[in-house]
Structure 1
Amino acid sequence: MHKNINKLDKMDIEMFVISSDTPEELLSLHNKLEETFGYSLSFISDPKFKLIGKMGMKKDGVAYRGYGMIDKEGNVIFNTKNDHWGEQIEKTVEKIKEEYNKLK
């Protein structure tokens, strides 16, 4: 995602990576991404799956890979479970933009 982040530049959104990993694990990943790309998205550690569950991205104690959108009031706009969202970045960006434009 980091190498394709510019595809969402014109959207007024904040992006986060939500993971059930510990803050320490995520800090290590954040630092590696920052070294590689010169920046990193912010990470949210959710080991109790509260936000992951709210997003509908939890099953049997693990988080699905995918993406979604929450509005400013905390309502889930959509979610997409897809292990290959990064490989299918054009389709991913198209879906995010489509859902974003519905909010206007």
Structure 2
Amino acid sequence: MHNNLTMLDEFDMDMYIISHDTPEQQKELYSQLKDYFGTSLPFISDPDMKLIEQFGMKNGDVAYRGFGIMDQNGEIIFKKVNDHWGEQIDHTVQDIEKEYKKIK
């Protein structure tokens, strides 16, 4: 298993972590990802969960963990709920690659 978010570098798209957490919680998560993967992704703060809801990832007052792809028009073209996306980065990259090829 690769423990590196640089596996995502092959995709020509901007990548972010969308979170409704407080800045302190986001900083902690950023640090944890950096420690685990050697790097992290930038965060988009979504305190009202509008983008999270647009992705269909809202679960009451919290967000599901997972990943997705939004096109340049703001249309959600793929999403997957997966609490273990980071621990299963090889599978995550395969899922993203499959969907990415459909739009390229």
Q: Give the TM-score band, short-chain normalised.
A: 0.7 to 0.9
Taking a change above 3 Å as real, the CA distance of residues 38 and 83 of structure 1, as seen in their structure-2 partners, is closer
- Structure 1 length normalisation: TM-score? 0.82
Paired residues of 2:67 and 2:79 also in contact (CA < 8 A): yes
Q: Which residue in 2 is equivalent to 1:77? A: 77
Partner of 1:62: 62
CA distance in 2 between counterparts of 1:34 and 1:64 reads: 17
Letter in 2 for 1:102: K
Task: Give the corresponding residue for 2:42.
Answer: 42
- Higher RCO (CA 8 Å, separation ≥ 6 residues): 2
Distance 1:7 1:20, change over 3 A: same
Question: Deviations along 1:44-77, whole A, 9 cap, x unmatched?
Answer: 1111100000000001111001111101111101
Aligned to 1:103: 103
* 8 Å Cα contact 1:86-1:92 kept in structure 2: yes
Does the CA contact (< 8 Å) of 1:26 and 1:43 recur in 2? yes
Q: Which runs of 5+ in 2 are unaligned?
A: none
Distance 1:24 1:84, change over 3 A: closer
**How many residues align structurally?**
101
Please name the residue that 1:20 is paired with. 20
Deviation, 1:90, is 1.4
For the aligned residue pairs, the C-alpha RMSD in angstroms reads 2.0
| Bigger shift: residues 85-94 or 11-20 | 85-94
Instruction: Measure how far apart 1:26 and its partner are.
Output: 2.2
Q: How far has the Cα of 1:20 moved from its partner?
A: 0.8
8 Å CA contact 1:8, 1:93 repeated in 2: yes
Change (3 A) 1:96 1:34: closer
The residue aligned with 1:88 is 88
